[in-house]
Structures are given as structure tokens and as C-alpha cells.
Amino acid sequence: MYFEKMVEIIVANKSHVKYAEAVCSLIYESALKRGTGIAKRSPEYVAKKMEEGKAIVAIDGDRLVGFSYIESWQHKRFVANSGLIVDPDYRNTGLARKIKRAVFDLSRKLYPDAKIFSITTGLAVMKLNSELGYVPVTFSELTDDHDFWKGCEGCRNYYILQENNRRMCLCTGMLYDPEKHKSAEENTAVGNPAGEMIPEKVLSPKRIARLRKNLRKIHLV
């Protein structure tokens, strides 16, 4: 049973390296269940992110129950929050939203001028992104770093990305541009003592699905 007050959501450090294997297992199991690929990461890679303080872990006692990490691209101009995973026993509890918020805040702290982006097929993730201020965009607005897109090779839909010259796939691209949020964040800081960002508009799942359809049309033009 899940007890929210018992779960710690914190920035990872070297003391959490022991959970690297568990993280990789959760990511792999999730990919199998969804039937889509996911960028494969080794325990060594996950451990490095933990040691660098570029990951968020959710811990219940001695059990790892959630994780996400940060990657930077194009000389830190772009940042991706990747590998969001929650233990099956802790899903549908709001934990994913809290991890997403924590890794987003960490990204803004470490890379305040970077654009934060995401590619996903999940409406739930798109909704979480929109709550944080992301908007759907074409792939041309995301990083053009070859190493990032190479990470898609483990996906069963990678051939679609290749056939469309990396202009589109089944995933939807979403982007948070700090330049477009500066004034909103300044107003929030004045009117909101808690310092939580209040998005101008949260996209509903139906609105997101409609935008995805329109973006595909744009890609195919």
C-alpha cells in the first residue's frame, strides 16, 4: 500500500547508486508493457547521473519507487527530462506528477537558460508537461544533436522517424522555452509566496490529441 508521507522525493547523490539496477529494471519492464521502445540506459549511466546530482529519486524506506534524470544537448542549450518511471505499486497516486515537477525544477536550477523538451506518446505525460508550461512543437524546434536522436534506435517505431528524415514520428514533441515564461514567472513570484508556477493554460487530453493530429499534418506538408 502506498503512503504518500513515507515517500521521499529528492535530488539523487552517490548514496543512491545502489538503486541503479532497480531503475534500469523498472524502465525495461515499463517499455515492455507499453509495447514501445525507450532509450536504453546502463546501470553505469544511471549511476553517473545520480553521482552528478542530475537525477530525482523517490524512496519509500529502502525501496526505490520512482526516478527521472536530466540530459543536456547542444552545449546546454537544450535539456531533456528523461526516464520518468514509477513502481507499478505506486502508480495512479500522483507520484509521477511530483517527480516530474521535481526534475523540472532541478533542470531550471541547473540550466536556467536552456529550453526543456520532451518527446512522448503518452497523453498522461503530455498533460503533466502542459501543466508545467510546455507546448506542442514540431521536431524542428527540438535539439538537432545526433546523439539524442540516436537514443531512439531502441524504439520499435524508429523506422518511422528514419523514413520521415527525423521530421516526425508517433511521438509528440513538447517544449518549455524560458524566454517565453520570464514575465509570467516574475508575476508569479510576486503573487505566489509558495513560488509555484501557475501555467497560463493547461491543455486537456482532448486538446493535446487534437494538436498532435495537426502537428502530423504540418510535418507531412
Question: Longest C-alpha distance within the chain, in Å?
Answer: 52
Please name the helix (run of DSSP H) or strand (run of DSSP E) that holds residue 11, with its range, or none.
strand 7-11
Q: Which cell goes with 213?
A: 493530429
pLDDT at 18: 97
CB 116 within 8 A of CB 80: yes
**Predicted pLDDT of residue 156:** 81
Cα 169 to Cα 149: distance, rounded to the nearest angstrom? 12
pTM as predicted: 0.78
Looking only at the bridges linking them, the beta strands covering 63-73 and 78-86 are antiparallel
Q: Between the CA atoms of 190, 191, 195 and 197, what dihedral angle is there, to the nearest 10 degrees?
A: -110
Parallel, antiparallel or unpaired: strands 115-120 and 172-176: antiparallel
CATH class of 4-220: alpha beta
Where in the chain are the domains?
A: 4-220
Q: Mean pLDDT, consecutive 10-residue segments, the chain of 221 residues?
A: 72 97 89 64 94 98 95 96 92 94 97 94 89 94 91 84 90 94 60 45 63 59 38
What pLDDT does 199 receive?
47
Bridge-partner residues for 133, per DSSP?
Answer: none
